Amino acid sequence: MTATVATAKRRRIMAGMRASGKLHVGHWLGALQNFVALAESNDCFYEIADLHALTTNFARSKEIADSVHDIALGWLAAGLDPQRCTMFIQSRVPEISELSVLLSMITPVSWLERVPTYKDQIAALGPEIATHGFLGYPVLQTVDIIAFKGQGVPVGQDQLPHLELCREIVRRFNHLYGDVLTEPEAVLSNFPAVPGLDGRKMSKSYDNSILLSDTEAETTAKVKEMYTDPSKIRKSDPGHPEICPVFFFQEIFNPGNASDIAHRCRAGQLGCVEDKADMAVHLNAALTPLRQRRRELEAKPDYVREVLEDGTRRAREVAARTLTEVRAAIGLTY
Ligand code: SF4
């Protein structure tokens, strides 16, 4: 079952981001704005998933702490209010690790091997990432949700198979040990994949991102290099804005002029150099308040640390209650 963000009733929402790199505009548009909106009317738990980062970045583990810090700054700068949601660091909630061991005992390996991204990622990143932890990450992901009795999980269509696996694990546990765990539902986010500088999905692994920590000048320089419609070489060539990532951003950040831009692009009256410069101005204008808040937060490291410590303390209280229930249901009570 799914619900749209607009129709969702107040409930426990669980979401997170992997601490494997810096936040970029794709995170902001595709997830973070939704996080902020959901926190207005739900009880939200937002996890900085550093253990998940280890599944693929175990050889570069020293980078994870910087990523955790960048995510915390990015979340707060984008408007997440620590009074309205619980932000925490995954590995600082050890109950998650114990719950993961317990759920791994009942999760068939065949369920994990059939996760679509499992083989794709090994093909993309190499056989060295095929570790026990990488195979088992859907179990850890399930625990991220059930530890906090998450009822709703904001996901895109492409993540539905992962959530379905989580639901299967929950059903198996409840069948074996009683009705203890909550089966989460998808809260579908309709936002399309945000294109990166090269036209593929914006992603750290493709090195095609505009970072939330980039300066105005860095952002403008990146937009200048952005991929456009390859058939539009000269200004007078008719373009196809519907396949152009620059136009994707114009529609979001310059909506009042988007139809005129599309018309002039198609009619050969607008050149890509001019359009990119215009788009960069509008994108920078939208990012200016985030950059300002980020600078303020960077000057208050104690505040950021306290937000995470306080959130992690609250998260642990909830996860500890779940762990007690799970241990009792299994019979691990001495
Ligand atoms: S004019 Fe603008 S919308 Fe058209 S192809 Fe160039 S950058 Fe894209």
Phi and psi at residue 185, to the nearest 5°: -115, 155
pLDDT score of 92: 98
Q: Locate the ligand 1 atom nearest the alpha carbon of residue 264 and give its number.
A: 1
Q: Which two tokens stand for residue 298?
A: 């960077």
For tokens 């704005």, what's the residue? 33
Left, alpha or beta for 201 (phi > 0: left; psi -120 to 50: alpha)?
beta
AA letter at 222: K
Q: Locate the ligand 1 atom nearest the alpha carbon of residue 245 and give its number.
A: 8
Most distant pair of Cα atoms in the chain: their distance: 79
Average of per-residue pLDDT across 249-263: 97
How far away, in angstroms, is 240 Cα from ligand 1 center? Answer: 7
Protein residue whose Cα sits closest to atom 6 of ligand 1: 272
How buried is 251 (Cβ within 10 angstroms: 0-12 exposed, 13-18 middle, 19+ buried)?
middle
Q: Mutate which of 226, 227, 244, 278 to test ligand 1's pocket (most atoms within 8 Å of Cβ)?
A: 244
Alpha-carbon span 327 to 318, nearest angstrom: 14
How far away, in angstroms, is 230 Cα from ligand 1 center? Answer: 10
Average of per-residue pLDDT across 153-163: 88
Q: How confident is the model at residue 294 (pLDDT cuts 50, 70, 90)?
A: very high
Q: Which two tokens stand for residue 29?
A: 């548009």
Q: How confident is the model at residue 6 (pLDDT cuts 50, 70, 90)?
A: very low
Half-sphere exposure of 137 (CA within 13 A, CB side): 21
Alpha-carbon span 199 to 246, nearest angstrom: 9
Q: Mutate which of 198, 227, 232, 269 to test ligand 1's pocket (most atoms within 8 Å of Cβ)?
A: 232
How far away, in angstroms, is 207 Cα from ligand 1 center? Answer: 22
Phi and psi at residue 88, to the nearest 5°: -150, 165
Q: How confident is the model at residue 10 (pLDDT cuts 50, 70, 90)?
A: confident
Protein residue whose Cα sits closest to atom 7 of ligand 1: 272
Q: Are 87 and 80 in contact (CB under 8 A)?
A: yes
CB count, 10 Å around CB of 304? 18
Q: Locate the ligand 1 atom nearest the alpha carbon of residue 241 and give its number.
A: 3
pLDDT score of 59: 85
How far away, in angstroms, is 265 Cα from ligand 1 center? Answer: 6
- Evaluate: CB of 78 within 6 angstroms of ligand 1: no
Average of per-residue pLDDT across 274-303: 97
Protein residue whose Cα sits closest to atom 5 of ligand 1: 229
- Evaluate: CB of 279 within 6 angstroms of ligand 1: no
pLDDT score of 223: 98
Alpha-carbon span 155 to 326, nearest angstrom: 26
- Evaluate: CB of 265 within 6 angstroms of ligand 1: yes
How far away, in angstroms, is 228 Cα from ligand 1 center? Answer: 6
How buried is 255 (Cβ within 10 angstroms: 0-12 exposed, 13-18 middle, 19+ buried)?
exposed
Comparing CA positions, the residue from 168, 249, 169 lying closest to residue 210 is 249
**Mean pLDDT (the chain, rounded):** 94
Protein residue whose Cα sits closest to atom 4 of ligand 1: 265
Comparing CA positions, the residue from 28, 8, 7, 6 lying closest to residue 17 is 28
Read off the pTM.
0.92
For tokens 């991102």, what's the residue? 209
Q: Is a pLDDT exceeding 60 seen at residue 8?
A: no
- Evaluate: CB of 280 within 6 angstroms of ligand 1: no
Question: What percentage of the chain carries pLDDT values higher than 90?
Answer: 84
How far away, in angstroms, is 250 Cα from ligand 1 center? Answer: 10
Q: Locate the ligand 1 atom nearest the alpha carbon of residue 235 and give its number.
A: 1
How far away, in angstroms, is 231 Cα from ligand 1 center? Answer: 10
How far away, in angstroms, is 157 Cα from ligand 1 center? Answer: 28
pLDDT score of 9: 67
How far away, in angstroms, is 288 Cα from ligand 1 center? Answer: 24
How far away, in angstroms, is 272 Cα from ligand 1 center? Answer: 5
Q: Is a pLDDT exceeding 70 seen at residue 5?
A: no
